[in-house]
Structure 1
């Protein structure tokens, strides 16, 4: 009985860690895309403070 409990707990723990891993990798991908987009936006709006302010507000959501 204890063995089964331990096994199910470790399986749950494993699935939780797998979920966390998936979330982290998805977050990393999102951040990479955000970085590329913001780099492009910054390149296009370089020196235009009004547009830069708008871009920053957009990225907060």
Structure 2
């Protein structure tokens, strides 16, 4: 398994492992989406912020589980 896991997550924990992979990917996707939205139309900034806050909720949910 990838060695770039955060040391706080034991590799024997499948949920933690999944979160460690899913969270950075999701954050990356949101950043790219935000960049595209901002580049296309400045007025869509609110939509991008909404996406980010939604994502943060999602990440928090994974972290709690």
Structure 2 residue 19 is the aligned partner of structure 1 residue 23: yes
Question: What TM-score results when the alignment is normalised by the length of structure 1?
Answer: 0.52
Instruction: Give the number of the structure whose residues are more often helix, by fraction.
Output: 1
> What TM-score, normalized by structure 2, do the two folds share?
0.50
| Structure 1: unaligned runs, 5 residues or longer | 1-12
Question: Over the residues paired in the alignment, what is the CA RMSD in angstroms?
Answer: 2.2
Runs of 4+ in 1 over 4 A off after TM superposition: none
Q: Whose radius of gyration is greater, 1 or 2?
A: 1
Relative contact order, higher structure (CA 8 A, sep 6+): 2
What number of residue pairs does the alignment pair up? 45
